[in-house]
Chains A and B, each alone.
Chain A
Amino acid sequence: MNKAAQQHMTYRQAVREAMREAMQKDDRVFLMGEDVGRYGGCFNVSEGMLQEFGEDRVVDTPLSESGFTGCGIGAAAAGMRPIVEIMTVNFSLLAADQIINTAAVLYYMSGGQFNVPVVIRMATGGGKQLAAQHSRSLENWYAHIPGLKILTPATVEDARGMLWPALEDPDPVLIFENSTLYNYEDAYSGNGHTVDISTARVRRAGSDVSILTYGIGLHKSLKAAEQLSKQGIEAEVVDLRVLRPLDNETVFASVRKTHRAVIVDEGWKSGGISAELSARITESLFYDLDCPVERVCGAEVPAPYARHLEQASLPQPQQIIETIQKMGGIHG
């Protein structure tokens, strides 16, 4: 790779560049949401875009998630390619009816007359001392709904490359950006190339256990894997990337190789994506398992405000390490 072409980029810049590129490439693309224009976005993601693209294409909306998300869905059905930004997943509950009852099913309910090529971006996750009402990881819920695609970019490359294929997708796509990742910086040399939005990726190869994770969990899992490696345990870290539809093939190939699976998810266990993955693995790979599937997930409590309590309620590398060390039959 040409070294000169290498540059560093934050996750935030990657999302912004992806939006700018999409708006430059396609007139039908526009951004709408609370404070995305004059304020530059609650997480500063769309800073400067109002000046670059004007009020018609970067639209500040009233504080009504149901209203503006509905507008976006309508615009998509009418032929536009809107990017709707909902400040955080916590507020998306106000737009849940639009997303679940309209966007996800309109193509079906209209007998194929209207598809909804909307992209809805939102921040997700805890860890910033924003307390119980602002720290949820509800992507698990949306992954429950047929008709939606759920993307969870964890890397700069994915933050940069997932938006365009999402806009090209004829159906509604939800992109969950973990808010603690916006400042995450990484080398980026993709020159704007897109990435697929259908597969999971092995981010670290290993032979002893598969860690299945996404979003912020990827970074914690990679840290844990480095530590485990020093103890002679080689963990394979699989970045799910897409929570719906799940890429069974990549997940199964990994577990078939390592015979052990740990799922790391900041979301809650009960009824969550970790439960779904665990079920799929036991359904399909029962005779490949050398020990029970383990889960390292968020504590099933409202997110605490106090920093030490909040950190204790979230999966941490040490917890992942200890869980794996205790797995039956693992060497090291």
Chain B
Amino acid sequence: MPSLGSQMIEARLIQWLVKPGDTVKRGDIIGEIDTEKGLIDIEVFEDGVVTELVSEEGEVIPVGSVMAVIDGEDEGEKAKAKLASPPEEPEKKEPRKKREKAATPPEQPETASREVPLHRVKASPLARRVAEDLQVDLSKVKGSGAEGTIHKKDVEAFAKQKAADETFEKELDMAEHLSAAGTGGMRQAIAAAMSRSNREIPHYYLETEIDMKVPLDWLNEQNKERAVSDRLLPPMLLIKAVANVLTELPALNGFWTDEAMHVEEGIHIGFAIALRQGGLVIPAILNADLKSLEETRSAFVDMVMRAREGHLRSREISSATITVTSLGERGADKVYGVIYPPQVALVGFGKIAKRPQTVDGAIGIRPTLSVVLAGDHRASDGHTGSRFLEKLNEQLQHPEAL
């Protein structure tokens, strides 16, 4: 069972889309699971042949459990042959399969786990004593001292984080129960994530108003030559612009975990999609910085459609490195968002509307857009945030370059 987010602990298997003997390729959809984020397609990350479906449809499966066994490519032929002639060597028990693969990313090969790392944990005597008292595994603690030496404060910070995570998990547990009782798991999941955010993330907010005349004119020009279904919409432009800016300001792209900022290389822009039945999902446009505007457009359209149908892929809802939210044309003027942990920033776009604006020293009526950046002050400072807004404006004033 793949983990689709730090807070997910289990999910229900709705149906298998493969059967033993099927050949699967990386990226294939092999089943559907029901999570608090809605129905999600399970992707497979390895090429091979399905030899066994361990989980049954309808079963609730904890994250990390083996759901199916896939023989890797090199063993694929053998497996096929074996399946084709089942009576062969019936009593000779096959040694435990070397490479069991479910839809989870591959685990460490067995040989690696036998090699005990030679470097020992450097911790002060007091840190060791405190770790024992607080039942903290020192090998998991990141030391703040010279050469990564662990001091008392590191252990205490780790224990605090652990306790917070456990509280969070408990809340989610409760959410699961409530979900089972039919009170809306997604609502509870949102409640848990947002409570955690409010509890742990010191938010700062920076706001700016962007003149949208140039980008909107450019969009209109582009759309003249396009079919209705192929039209470029402002959110696509905004997502692409955010992705471009993040290549220059990596401090806003990543996760705050273990008391430190972890910048992510890939830029995966999550965008909030409200569902008709209530609640919302935040799928991500993966590697948005590497996509052209056209690719961003098609990814966007495809994803909105699949989100509403409940056919998002696991990777899409677990990978976002930053979130963008826009309440659309009928939405509010400004959006002060709540960061989705462990992400460190959220960009809120208000509605684009005609507003008085200073143009060339006089008052003019222009389409403007309010952008509010919510930043995690542990991971970045207002200076970085300001530069983000400034660069975003620059990007949007040159839509042809997006």
Contact = CB atoms under 8 A, between A and B. Distances in A.
A62 interface: no
A290 B146 CA distance: 13
Interface in A281-324: 286-291
A146 interface: no
Nearest to B150: A329
B101 interface: no
A292 to B, nearest CB: 8
B79 interface: no
A111 interface: no
Interface string B147-161: 001011110000000
A112 interface: no
Contacts, number: 39
Given A290-B124, A291-B124, A328 B129 contact: no
Contacts of B334: none
B144 interface: yes
Contacts of B27: none
B234 interface: no
Contacts of B128: 287
A287 B347 CA distance: 48
Chain A at the B interface: SS class: loop
Contacts of A288: 125-126, 129
B133 to A, nearest CB: 11
Chain A interface size range:
10 to 19
Contacts of B267: none
B127 interface: yes
Contacts of B125: 286-290
Best-buried of A286, A290, A291 by chain B (most CB within 10 Å):
A290
B145 A329 contact: yes
A57 interface: no
A325 B146 CA distance: 12
A241 interface: no
Nearest to A285: B125
A61 to B, nearest CB: 52
Contacts of B124: 289-291, 328-329
B153 A259 contact: no
A256 to B, nearest CB: 10
Contact of A287 (B126, B145, B151, B154): B126
A311 to B, nearest CB: 29
Interface of A: 259, 286-291, 328-329, 331
22 contacts: A286-B125, A287-B126, A287-B129, A288-B125, A288-B126, A288-B129, A289-B124, A289-B125, A289-B126, A290-B124, A290-B126, A290-B127, A290-B151, A291-B145, A291-B149, A291-B151, A328-B124, A328-B145, A329-B124, A329-B127, A329-B144, A329-B154
